[in-house]
Amino acid sequence: MGKMTEIVNGTSIPSYITPLFWQHGENEHILREEIKQMHENGINSFVIESRPHPDFLGDMWWRDLDILLDEARKRSMKVWLFDDSSYPSGYAAGRIRDLHPEYLKVYLAEKHVDVIGPLKGSSFLIQAWLDEGDELIGVIAAKRIDGVDVIDADTLIDVSRQVHKGILYWDVPEGDWRVFILIRTRNGGEEHTKDYLNPLQQEAVGAFIHHVHEEHYRRYASDFGQTIVGFFTDEPRFGNVASYDGSLGQKQMEFPYGGIKGPSGYSQFVLPYADSLIAELDAEWEDNVSYKLYLPLLWYEGGERTHSVRFTYMNVVSRLYAENYTQQIGDWCRTHNVKLIGHVVEDNGAHARLGFGSGHFFRAIKGQDYSGLDVVYQIWPEYTSGRFTTPFGYLNTEFFYWGMTKMATSAAHLDPKKQGVTICEAFGAYGWQEGLKLMKWITDHLCVRGVNFLVPHAFSPKFPDLDCPPHFYARGENPQWRYFNVWSTYANRVCHLLSGGRHVAPIAVIYHAEAEWSGSYQPFEEIVKTLALHQIDCDVIPIDTFVNEEEYQILKGKFQVNEEQYRAIVVPYAERLPEAFIKCLMKLQDNGIHVLFIRDYPTASSTNTKPHDFNQLLAKLKQGNYANAIALDELVPRIRTLGYYDVEVKTYEEALRYYHYIQNAESLFFFTNESRQKTVQTHVRLRAEGVPLAYDAMNNQVHALHYTFDGEFTIICLKLAPYDSVFIVFLEDGLGNYEFYPHETSSTTDINSFLELPDNWITSKAEAKQYPDFELEEKIHGLGNISLPEILPDFSGTIKYETTFEFERSQSVSKVILDLGEVYEIADVWMNDIHLGVRICSPYTFEAVKQLKDGINSLRIEVTNTLVRKMPSAFDRSMPQEPSGLIGPVRIYPIR
């Protein structure tokens, strides 16, 4: 029996919703009540988030954990443990700072003295540049060639051995020189994480595991792999600078006069460091000269050598981060029969950088059991390009809307350990304006890109709680809470259908981290966006996959990674790429796989390869028949010509997204309309055979479809209202044994034949805790926005609209649709005291043929808005607020 059959037949399915449950040290009754509310609303697991708790790893923490685990056991719920008292992870509730100061983060800092030579017999007060606790790594000198910050890399000279008792004795040659003082320091960096572990140091992470993970195991070993299923790690980072834009050489990262506390002097940002780092860099460096000589190029431009120096540094530190932090913790978890989940900071491109980043997204999460990401205020309907301001600063919508989720789900597809699972911490910090309507849109946005495990942010037993609302139950104050199970049931159905199978995408887009480290580059999300706007799906693949040849295999005209098969590779523009990767591309194109470079071929190697050797390699690649450089606007036509697509849409539909998934040998196409204004109505060609059905996961209904088959593609008519979604399912065993509901694409709707209900509504209101006890509201006169100044600008809760109308049934009418028009935002409807259903978003339509009667009919509509009108937060101020109430028009449409 297929998964869709299970859902439609009412078979119990797993829960794919695991919310954050914040802890503040509440009493036992409140803790148990919160879990009860979760469980009764479709949630069977939760993350115990310790971040707000006042005593993580202390007696109060263990007391509360005893209560939470006891309640979870009683309800057969699963529990994940947040792994620190704060975010980002890596603090161990202060244990690293207090018990292991030797494992705290250290940095590589640079200070310098500029001097004009020749100057014989000169000396420099090196020690005077060091603060207490600093250690001198070395002193390097080089000529400046622009009088400011550009140096001549060919003149770099290590004068470290000429330092005696803190003084450099050096005869300065002729010219304009800069003396670089390289320092190991605890100063500088992100203030918030100054007392965090050093993620480059294996022993430091080992201490973190000892104090957090092993202490929980010591107390609850029998629950591990049973009630306790894993740990959640949150936003670990390098933290060498408090910035998303932590790229080497970025001028905006400079801190003049005081970037490092102590003696005045000009210092740029500090870099992640460990005592073993120089040796690691030397092992990677393709030169007979120590990498140490080139350290100044991490901050300053020095010609061609700069690119390979920076690439080598980023390559090494991102690998050390992955091995020592995520992989080590993940290995410990798996050894103890639990999993590691969570996410790093992806925002605004930080995933490939220092600062808030972890250097390389795919490496950073490889040790996790699931892929992961975080959506906190970053994704909104219609915000698909450019930048916009938020409570967190600017957001790069090109990355957030098109790149972030695709990057994360691709990691789940590529790594066998992750079994296709991508978790997303979602919905947090949108403010109280976020209701179930926006949550449904965000859910579709994530799932149509492959997310299949949701971590809603958050349940807070504290009310009011100013920390990143909304909070879903909110001690009963959230007026939409009684409808939460409508959303959770829908989300579970979608995630269930998109789990345990295989994603299908014909195109592989190369992840750009290595290109960014070593020169000019094009972010991968630009390619993903171009493809998505034309309904061509892809995965984002890191260069590591190709360099580690055991991770993929070449088939006839395809290459396969894990269970994914691709027909072509798209390489975003990169000035430089690793030589090893170019060799892999040659092998692929020699086997008939198309390699499409956007804008141009690379011009040099990221590594320390001789230009002549790289040029010869590139020339061989260009001689092949399957490697081409094309403009971005040529990409879609080229892929269409090659036939590498699964979906073709008759009209241009920029808001239409799809996800092709093979589930138990059955093809599923999940379609969503991401517009909040426009309906998608078009013919779609799908590369699939068999009898297609439409499955409405919100209403759990199966619809038969009219279709044709042209020998390769199945053609259907697709209609999706704003916020709407549908599965087109090709069942292995034909139509199956379903109760079929009429579908608009197979019926005739006369839009000119409708009954518009008269404006004679009686209205009443009830706040969340007052419901269902309503009181008449005389300020509301008919339909319209109730949040206007003269009506109810501060009201949050439910407005009840009641009316009667006369209806005469036509014998030719087989179906009647009640259309509420515009609603803000949840509609709960009764016709003649018979419940028609609930709609949390558009389309606000209901089938009513069985409930209508000839003569006088009664209609009751309850419309519930969000809490924002009653208690707006700082997180609500950066976005416009929608109206409240029933706007209409309310009409009844007969369908023949």
Per the domain annotation, does 2 fall within a domain? no
Domain boundary pick from 339, 374, 398: 339
Per the domain annotation, does 706 fall within a domain? yes
Domain boundary pick from 501, 536, 568: 501
CATH code of 826's domain? 2.60.120.260
CB-CB contact of 310 with 249 (8 Å): yes
Based on the fold, state whether residues 521 and 490 are members of the same structural domain: no
Question: Alpha carbon of 280 to those of 315, 320, 468, 814: distances in Å?
Answer: 10, 9, 41, 75
Based on the fold, state whether residues 637 and 507 are members of the same structural domain: yes
Based on the fold, state whether residues 174 and 26 are members of the same structural domain: no
Question: Alpha carbon of 303 to those of 416, 579, 832: distances in Å?
Answer: 41, 19, 80
> Is residue 701 predicted with pLDDT exceeding 70?
yes
Q: Which residue has the tokens 């140091």?
A: 201
Based on the fold, state whether residues 611 and 636 are members of the same structural domain: yes
Per the domain annotation, does 690 fall within a domain? yes
Least confident of 266-270, 547-551, 766-770, 889-893: 266-270
In which band, very low, low, confident or very high, does the pLDDT at 742 lie, cut at 50, 70 and 90?
Answer: low
**What tokens does 554 get?**
């070449």
Q: What is the pLDDT at residue 654?
A: 97
Based on the fold, state whether residues 742 and 761 are members of the same structural domain: no
Based on the fold, state whether residues 357 and 489 are members of the same structural domain: yes
CATH code of 494's domain? 3.20.20.80
Per residue in 333-382, pLDDT (tens digit) is: 999 999 999 999 999 999 999 999 999 999 999 999 999 999 999 999 99
Per the domain annotation, does 7 fall within a domain? no
- How many domains are contained in the chain? 5
Of all residues in the chain, what percent carry a pLDDT higher than 90?
88
As a whole number, mean pLDDT of residues 279-301 equals 94
Distance CA 164, CA 740 (A): 88
Per the domain annotation, does 4 fall within a domain? no
Looking at the DSSP bridge assignments, the partners of residue 564 are 561
Per the domain annotation, does 221 fall within a domain? no
Based on the fold, state whether residues 32 and 66 are members of the same structural domain: yes
Domain boundary pick from 452, 478, 501: 501
Domain holding 630, by residue range, is: 503-642
CATH code of 612's domain? 3.40.50
Per the domain annotation, does 216 fall within a domain? no
As a whole number, mean pLDDT of residues 269-290 equals 94
Per the domain annotation, does 220 fall within a domain? no
Based on the fold, state whether residues 562 and 572 are members of the same structural domain: yes
Based on the fold, state whether residues 493 and 379 are members of the same structural domain: yes
Per residue in 163-196, pLDDT (tens digit) is: 999 999 999 999 999 999 999 999 999 999 999 9
Based on the fold, state whether residues 410 and 439 are members of the same structural domain: yes
Based on the fold, state whether residues 331 and 184 are members of the same structural domain: yes
CB-CB contact of 228 with 79 (8 Å): yes
Peptide bond into 789 cis (omega under 30): no
Based on the fold, state whether residues 313 and 353 are members of the same structural domain: no
In which band, very low, low, confident or very high, does the pLDDT at 749 lie, cut at 50, 70 and 90?
Answer: very low
CA 490 from centre of chain:
20
Sequential DSSP letters for 300-333: S--STHHHHHHHHHHHHHHHHHIIIIIIHHHHHH
| Per-residue H/E/C for 103-134 | HECEEEEEEEEEEEEEECCCEEECHHHCCCCC
DSSP tag of 459:
B
- The residue type found at 216 is H
pTM: 0.96
